[in-house]
Structure 1
Amino acid sequence: MANKKIWHEKLYCHLGQYFLIDKLLYETKTEYHKVIIFENSNFGKIMAIDDIVQTTEKDEFIYHEMMTHIPIFSHGSIKNVLIIGGGDGGILREICKHKDIKNITMVEIDINIINLCKKYFPNHNKNAYEDSRLKLIIDDGLNFTKKTKEKFDLIISDSTDPLGCGKNLFRSEFYYNCKNCLDKNGIFVAQNGVFFLQKNETITTYKKLKKYFYDTKLYHAAIPTYYGGIMIFAWGTNNIELNKKRNLINLQSRIKSTKLDFNYYNAKIHISSFYLPQYILNALNES
C-alpha cells in the first residue's frame, strides 16, 4: 500500500472521499475534460472527470436503471428517446433493452469519453453503440436542443456536475429547450446531485423546471459512489395524467410484460423513490 497513490475527489471544498489507486489505467486532459481512470479493489474500475467521480464498475447499475426505467415505465409508450451526455454508455445500454423503443438519439460533447469507456468500461454499454436504432451526435446538448426540430417522448440529461461545459445543462435555457423538444406527453429527467451537499443546485433546478412543467418532481436512489447521501434526480412533464397511472399494479404489469430483469429497479422502488425525506421537503417548501 505504501507504493500506491491515493486519489481525492474534489467536488466539495472542505471534504470528500478518497480512493486507493490499485492500478492507474489512463490519465489525460481532453479538449473538454480532465480524465482519470483507475482500478480500485472495492469499486472496480473508476472514471473521474475534472476531479469528480462519474462512474464505477461496482454500482453503476443503480444510477443507470433509475435514470431510464423510472420514466420509461411511468410513460408506458416511449418510442423516441434523446440522451444528453451519457458517454459511458450505461443509459444507452438500459434504453436498448426496451425493444418497443424505435429511435435513440445520443448527444455527447466529447467523443473521447465514448471511446475511453468502450475500451475500459465495456460492460457499461454491452455493445449498445452498435444498436441500429442509435443516432450518435457529437455536440453540446444546449446547442442541439436549441436547433433540433425533432420531438421526443423522453429526454434524459446524464450530465456531469454544473462545472465547466457541464454548466450548460443546468441553465434555464436548456430546460426550456428540452420542454420544446418533448412530445406533449413527454418526460424529462436529469441527474441533480446529492441534496445533502448540493442543496442549492437541486433547489435551483427545481425552481427552473417548475417554470416549464406542470408536473415537476424529485426522486432519489442510494448510490454508494456519490458521496454525501442519496442521489437526486429531477423529473418534469406536462402530462398530468401520469400521476393517476403511477400505481403499483400498473407498474408491475408493465414490467412483467417486458420480461426484463433488473439489479436495483422494481415497481416498489419506483413508487417509493418519489417519497422524499422531510429535510428535502422542508427545503423545497422554504425556497
Structure 2
Amino acid sequence: MERWVEETLHNGFRVRLKADEVLFDSQTDHQQLIIFENGDFGRVMMLDGVVQLSTRDEFVYHEMMAHVPLFAHAEAKDVLIVGGGDGGVLREVLRHPDAERATLCEIDRSVIDLCRAHFPEISQGAYDDARTRIVIADGTKFVAETDDRFDAILVDSTDPIGPGAVLFTEAFYTSCRRALKPGGVLVTQNGLPFLQGPELAESVGYFRKLFKDAFAYLATTPSYFGGSMSYGWASDDATLRQQTSGTIARRYEAAGAFPTRYWNPDLQVAAFALPNYIRDLVEK
C-alpha cells in the first residue's frame, strides 16, 4: 500500500510527499524523525511533521546560510552553527579557508547519527574535519554560557515548534549578541514570509533592538513549500550587507572559487533585494 507523509507546519495548508521507501521513523529524545525516499526530491528528512532537507535541493539552503554571511564578513575565523545536525551548513562553512574553527551545537545527537548513516553526501566528511567541534547541548544554554566569541553565528534551526521554539526569542538573540566578536554577523532561519510573516517580523524586531543593522535576505528551496525562505540578518557593521558583487567575486576567487550550485556573487547582492510585502515586515 502506498504511504504518503504529510507536512503539518501550516494551519491552512498541507503538503504530502510519497514515501517510496521509509528508512527510519521513530521518536528521538526530542522530536519525531522520519527519513524516506521520494521520487521527486530524493531522500527526505522531516522533524515533527516539517521537511528539513531533501538531497535534491539541500544545496540551496546550505549554501545561502553559509556563504552570504562569510563572504560578507570576509575574515570569519570562528563560526558557530546552532542546530544544523545534518552537517550541510558545516560542510559549506569549511569550504572557506579562513574558517579556523567551526562549532556545531546540536541538541539532538540522534540527528547527527542518523544523518551520518543516511545522508553522508550532505556532510561529506565535515563532522570529522580537524576544524570541527561538535557540542551536544541546548543551543540557548550554550550561547548564554560560553566564553567563546564568534565572528559569525548561523542559526540553522527548525521552525518555532518543539525544541526549536526557544531559538526565536529575544533572550536567545541577546545571548547571540554577547557571543559575537565586534563586527560579527548573526544569520537565522526565519521561515517563509508569505505564510510565516509574523515570525520574520518578530525576529527582525528583536534584532533592531540589539544591533545597528537588522534586515533579511531570501532564497528559494523547492522542498520548503510556500514561497521564498527568509534568512534573518543582524550585525553592528551595516557595510557587511552592502558589498558589491565585484568585491564578493574577488573574495570568492581568493577563497579558491570552490564550486557552488546556487550561490554566486551576483546572487549574494540580489538576495537582499526584498519584495515590498517582505520589506514591510522587516522595516516596520
TM range (shorter): over 0.9
Deviations 1:163-198 (A, max 9, x none): 111111001010000001000010000110000000
Aligned residue identity for 1:10:
T
2:103 to 102, 105, 108: 105
Corresponding residue of 2:113: 115
C-alpha contact 1:9 1:52 (8 A) present in aligned 2: yes
1:251 is aligned to 248
3-state SS of 1:235 partner: strand
Per-residue deviation at 1:280?
1.3
Structure 1 position 270 matched with structure 2 position 275: no
Are the counterparts in 2 of residues 28 and 35 from structure 1 also a CA contact under 8 Å?
yes
Gaps of 5+ in 1: none
TM-score norm. by structure 1 comes to 0.97
Specify the alignment match of 1:34 in structure 2: 32
Give 1:275 shift.
0.4
Deviations 1:237-263 (A, max 9, x none): 01233255x111111111112221100
CA contact (8 A) 1:36 1:47 kept: yes
Change (3 A) 1:54 1:91: same
Aligned-residue offset at 1:132: 0.6
Q: 1:43 touches 1:56 (CA, 8 Å); kept in 2?
A: yes
**Distance in 1 between residues matched to 2:168 and 2:280, nearest whole Å:** 23
The amino acid across from 1:232 in the alignment is S
Give the SS at the match of 1:198.
helix
Q: Secondary structure at the match of 1:180?
A: helix
CA distance in 2, matches of 1:230, 1:27: 28
Residue 232 of structure 1 aligns to a residue whose secondary structure is strand
Q: Deviations over 1:20-67 (max 9, x none)?
A: 110011000011010010000000000000010000000000000000
User: What residue is the counterpart of 2:81 in the other structure?
Assistant: 83
Matched residue, 2:223: 225
How many equivalent pairs are there? 283
RMSD: 1.0
Aligned partner of 1:45 in structure 2 is 43
- 2:8 aligns to what? 10
Give the letter aligned to residue 91 of structure 1: V
1:118-151: CA deviation from partner (whole Å, max 9, x where unpaired): 0111011001011011111100000001100111
2:249 aligned partner, one-letter code: Q
SS at match of 1:98: coil
Q: How does 1:171-190 map to 2 (within 5 A)?
A: 171-190=169-188
Indicate the SS of the match to 2:186. Answer: strand
How far apart, CA to CA, are the structure 1 residues paired with 2:152 and 2:142?
15
DSSP-derived class of the 1:150 partner = coil
Q: Any idea what SS the aligned residue of 1:196 has? A: helix
Counterpart for residue 94 of structure 2? 96
Report matched runs for 1:180-219 at 5 Å: 180-219=178-217
Q: Secondary structure at the match of 1:276?
A: coil
Distance 2:238 2:37 in 1: 45
**Alpha-carbon distance in structure 2 between the residues aligned to 1:282 and 1:145:** 30
* Identity, % of aligned positions: 37
Structure 2: which 5+ runs fail to align? none
Q: Which amino acid aligns with 1:173?
A: A
Name the structure 1 match of 2:72: 74
Q: Does structure 1 conserve the Cα–Cα contact (< 8 Å) formed by 2:200 and 2:282? A: no
SS at structure 2 position matched to 1:135:
strand
Segments of 4+ moved more than 6 angstroms: none
Separation of aligned partners in 2, 1:283 and 1:95: 29
TM-score where L is the length of structure 2: 0.98
For 1:266 and 1:282, the matched residues in 2 are separated by 26
Mapped contact 1:221–1:230 kept (Cα < 8 A):
yes
**C-alpha distance in structure 1 between counterparts of 2:241 and 2:61, whole Å:** 23
What corresponds to 2:56 in structure 1? 58
Structure 2: how far apart are the matches of 1:144 and 1:277? 35
Letter aligned with residue 68 of structure 1:
A
Given that residues 16 and 227 in structure 1 are in contact (C-alpha distance below 8 angstroms), is that contact kept between their aligned partners in structure 2?
Answer: no
> For the residues of structure 2 that align with 1:172 and 1:22, how far apart are their CA atoms?
41
